[in-house]
């Protein structure tokens, strides 16, 4: 783990230098499988790759599933081929299909996906390992997230409260895929990502896991990932159309599976108050004031 903090931009642009492998060290860490779906995003792809490799995590499996890019992405992938568990560049059915192809190859204890225009933050993987040592039966670990611009400048902080299935389904995303790690055996048991979806694949898988009896979620303080705001991202192009439609579809699908019989109006008010109190009790008053101003 890094001994001194580095900026996000520095972390995702500094050249990668592999550390000597130590099998003894690796055995002390859960194996993490990361999958990056990629298609014609050479402008950002190398920073995504470096955000994974610069973690210097001793028990890592990393796949890049490219959809047949023609913009130089393949040359970037080949540059890091010695450090990858595998990669392809071939026509696929889209982002979700690409991620699932990687997940089906995975052998890690936990899996995550990071899109080719998003990044992991410094020490994210080590934070997962620290949390796992304290609670090895956890099914889903998740942290907080940055929102960044095209040059890795942090624009916004998104902090998450402890997981609540009702809040996730009634209010909206409570967990950010940029900072999400899922026990692989749960995906094998419940199925991979829903390939019929184009936008809310993270919302759906978290909802599906969240309504399962006994599913163990754990939020860990700290910023694990960065979501990049850029013109070609799906959040900029189809969020207001396909995104809203799919969100309603998933909400309607999983609402009947919740154990609570309280209605939407109760949960929407409760979830807002719960989030507010979470950060007030943590003493994060500046963050609370900022979020309240944004809501207005």
If asked whether residues 207 and 275 sit together in one domain, one would say no
If asked whether residues 98 and 241 sit together in one domain, one would say yes
**Does residue 214 sit within a domain?**
yes
CATH number at residue 51: 3.90.550.10
Q: What is the pLDDT of residue 4?
A: 46
Report the share of the chain in percent with pLDDT over 90: 80
If asked whether residues 270 and 242 sit together in one domain, one would say no
CB 227 within 8 A of CB 146: yes
If asked whether residues 100 and 140 sit together in one domain, one would say yes
Does position 21 have pLDDT exceeding 60, yes or no? yes
**Which of 85-89, 174-178, 291-295 comes out lowest in average pLDDT?**
291-295
CA dihedral 183, 184, 186, 192 (to 10 degrees): 130
Mean pLDDT of 8-17: 96
**Does residue 1 sit within a domain?**
no
Task: Give 36's pLDDT tier (boundaries 50, 70, 90).
Answer: very high
Does position 295 have pLDDT exceeding 80, yes or no? no
Euclidean distance between CA atoms 287 and 149, whole angstroms: 20
Q: What is the pLDDT of residue 237?
A: 65
**Does residue 3 sit within a domain?**
no
Q: Name which of 232, 224, 210 is nearest 158 in CA terms.
A: 224
pLDDT tens, residue by residue, 102-148 = 999 999 999 999 999 999 999 999 999 999 999 999 999 999 999 99
pLDDT tens, residue by residue, 251-275 = 999 999 998 888 888 998 999 999 9
Task: Please identify which residue in the block is written with the tokens 């007030």.
Answer: 280
If asked whether residues 231 and 284 sit together in one domain, one would say no
Q: Which string of b and e fits 7-40 if b means at least 16 CB within 10 Å?
A: ebbebbeeeeeeeeeeeeeeeebbbbbbbbbbbb
If asked whether residues 157 and 283 sit together in one domain, one would say no
**Does residue 145 sit within a domain?**
yes
pLDDT tens, residue by residue, 278-290 = 999 999 999 998 8
Euclidean distance between CA atoms 191 and 182, whole angstroms: 12
**Does residue 172 sit within a domain?**
yes
**Does residue 2 sit within a domain?**
no
CA distances from 38 to 61, 74, 195 (A): 17, 10, 16
Q: Name which of 176, 183, 204, 170 is nearest 272 in CA terms.
A: 170
**Does residue 37 sit within a domain?**
yes
pLDDT tens, residue by residue, 40-83 = 999 999 999 999 999 999 999 999 999 999 999 999 999 999 99
If asked whether residues 66 and 124 sit together in one domain, one would say yes
**What is the domain extent for residue 267?**
261-295
Euclidean distance between CA atoms 85 and 63, whole angstroms: 6
80 token code pair: 């890091």
Euclidean distance between CA atoms 279 and 189, whole angstroms: 34
If asked whether residues 76 and 174 sit together in one domain, one would say yes
Instruction: Tell the burial category of 56 from Cβ atoms under 10 Å away from its Cβ (0-12, 13-18, 19+).
Output: middle
Q: What is the pLDDT of residue 294?
A: 76
Q: What is the pLDDT of residue 2?
A: 40
pLDDT tens, residue by residue, 202-248 = 999 999 999 999 999 999 999 999 999 987 765 556 777 888 999 99
If asked whether residues 154 and 279 sit together in one domain, one would say no
If asked whether residues 138 and 229 sit together in one domain, one would say yes
Tally of structural domains, the chain = 2
If asked whether residues 137 and 176 sit together in one domain, one would say yes
Euclidean distance between CA atoms 123 and 11, whole angstroms: 10
User: What is the H or E stretch that residue 235 is in?
Assistant: helix 234-237
If asked whether residues 250 and 265 sit together in one domain, one would say no
Left, alpha or beta for 152 (phi > 0: left; psi -120 to 50: alpha)?
left
């Amino acid at each position: 783990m890094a001994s001194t903090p580095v900026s996000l931009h520095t972390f995702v642009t500094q050249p990668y230098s592999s550390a000597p492998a130590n099998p003894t060290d690796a055995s002390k860490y859960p194996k993490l499988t990361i999958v990056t779906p990629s298609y014609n995003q050479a402008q950002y792809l190398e920073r995504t790759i470096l955000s994974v490799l610069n973690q210097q995590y001793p028990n890592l499996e990393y796949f890049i599933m490219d959809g047949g890019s023609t913009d130089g992405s393949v040359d970037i992938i080949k540059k890091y081929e010695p450090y990858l568990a595998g990669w392809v560049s071939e026509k696929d059915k889209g982002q979700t299909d690409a991620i699932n192809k990687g997940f089906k190859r995975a052998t890690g204890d936990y899996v995550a996906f990071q899109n080719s225009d998003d990044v992991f933050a410094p020490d994210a993987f080590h934070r997962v390992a620290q949390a796992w040592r304290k609670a090895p039966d956890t099914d889903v670990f998740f942290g907080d997230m940055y929102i960044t611009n095209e040059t890795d400048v942090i624009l916004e902080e998104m902090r998450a409260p402890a997981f609540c299935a009702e809040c996730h389904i009634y209010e909206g995303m409570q967990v950010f895929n940029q900072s999400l790690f899922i026990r692989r055996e749960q995906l094998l048991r419940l199925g991979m990502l829903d390939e019929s979806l184009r936008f809310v694949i993270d919302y759906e898988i978290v909802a599906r896991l969240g309504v399962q009896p006994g599913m163990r979620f754990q939020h860990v303080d700290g910023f694990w990932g960065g979501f990049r705001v850029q013109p070609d991202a799906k959040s900029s192009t189809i969020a207001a159309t396909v995104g809203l439609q799919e969100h309603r579809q998933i909400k309607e699908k999983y609402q009947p599976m919740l154990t609570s019989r309280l209605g939407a109006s109760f949960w929407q008010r409760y979830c807002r108050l719960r989030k507010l109190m979470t950060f007030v009790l943590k003493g994060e008053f500046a963050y609370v004031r900022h979020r309240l101003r944004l809501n207005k």
